[in-house]
Amino acid sequence: MEMKILLIEDDQSIYEVIKDRFAGWSFDVIRPADFSNVMDSFALEQPQLVIIDIQLPAYDGFHWCRQIRQTSKVPIIFLSSRDQPMDMVMAMHMGADDYIQKPFHMEVLLAKVQAVVRRTYDYKEEQPQLARWHGAQLDYARSTITYGEEVVELTKNELFILSVLLEHMDQIVARDELMRRLWDDERFVNDNTLSVNVNRLRVKLEELGLQDVIVTKKGLGYMAISERRA
């Protein structure tokens, strides 16, 4: 089945190259009709994935990422020539699933897109609907974690990371293993991206009152602590 990608990119040549290359992999790449009102195109087209440049006419990519995240959990990948670490950190904090720097290799972009699509749309079907941990309830279908009366939403990356750690309760999961599981191929991963996702997950758990339930083993990786050691 063909999957629709909304490419929020004002460079016509980049759009045409990506559209042509992705067509062979059953991806229908479309652009906004009006870059000053991207949300109209998003609502009309209902894409399964969004790729956003940062530098755009009218409003930047961060603006549109915030707008999309207010209404949807659709996977978002940033594609930008800006190479400042803070740009990547901002993108991930806003709920982006990945950040690719221009100039880029088409094979890398395609691999990233395929990995995000697999873990977003295939992974859910293989997981249990609910899990309990330290008295909190993890809802895989809704991508939320509830503790008492409080509920927080997790991004797809945060949910995936937490689920992998829970699979190996009280065991260290190496950073390289997390990157392989999350992005399929660690060669395409910026190490800082994993740190941002884990730290953001920790903050959300702490907001619920779940402190120190994920520990860092320096130089080794991360570990989820079981109920019996709480």
| pLDDT, averaged in runs of 10, over the chain (230 residues) | 90 95 92 94 95 94 95 93 87 89 90 86 60 88 89 89 90 88 59 86 93 91 75
Q: Are residues 84 and 149 in the same domain?
A: no
Q: Are residues 12 and 111 in the same domain?
A: yes
pLDDT value at residue 228: 44
How far is Cα 215 from Cα 193, in angstroms, rounded to an integer?
18
Here the CATH number for the domain that contains residue 142 is 1.10.10.10
Please answer whether residues 214 and 194 qualify as being in contact, where contact means their C-beta atoms are separated by less than 8 angstroms. no
Q: Are residues 133 and 118 in the same domain?
A: no
Here the CATH number for the domain that contains residue 53 is 3.40.50.2300
> Which stretch of DSSP H or E encloses residue 173?
strand 173-174
- Domain of residue 27 covers 3-124
Strands 136-139 and 130-133: antiparallel
3-state secondary structure of 27: strand
Q: Are residues 133 and 198 in the same domain?
A: yes
Q: Are residues 28 and 114 in the same domain?
A: yes
Q: Are residues 110 and 164 in the same domain?
A: no
Q: Are residues 120 and 139 in the same domain?
A: no
How far is Cα 27 from Cα 110, in angstroms, rounded to an integer?
10
How far is Cα 112 from Cα 98, in angstroms, rounded to an integer?
8
Q: Who's near 106: CB < 8 A, 6+ residues apart?
A: 17, 18, 21
pLDDT value at residue 229: 47
pLDDT value at residue 122: 67
Last residue within a domain, chosen from 96, 124, 152: 124
Q: Are residues 188 and 217 in the same domain?
A: yes
Last residue within a domain, chosen from 124, 150, 165: 124
How far is Cα 145 from Cα 219, in angstroms, rounded to an integer?
28
Last residue within a domain, chosen from 89, 124, 159: 124
pLDDT value at residue 184: 59
Q: What is residue 145's DSSP assignment?
A: E
Burial 168-179 (b: 16+ CB within 10 A, else e): eeeeebebeebb
Q: Are residues 39 and 83 in the same domain?
A: yes
Q: Are residues 24 and 104 in the same domain?
A: yes
pLDDT value at residue 26: 87
Residues paired with residue 150 on neighbouring β-strands, in sequence order: 147
Residue 137 burial (CB count, 10 A): 13
Q: Are residues 8 and 115 in the same domain?
A: yes
pLDDT value at residue 189: 57
Residue 112 burial (CB count, 10 A): 23
CA dihedral 162, 165, 170, 172 (to 10 degrees): -130
Domain tally for the chain?
A: 2
Q: Are residues 137 and 225 in the same domain?
A: yes
CA 203 to each of CA 197, 200, 214: distance values in angstroms, whole numbers, following the listed order: 10, 5, 11
Tokens of 130: 């609910």
pLDDT value at residue 188: 52
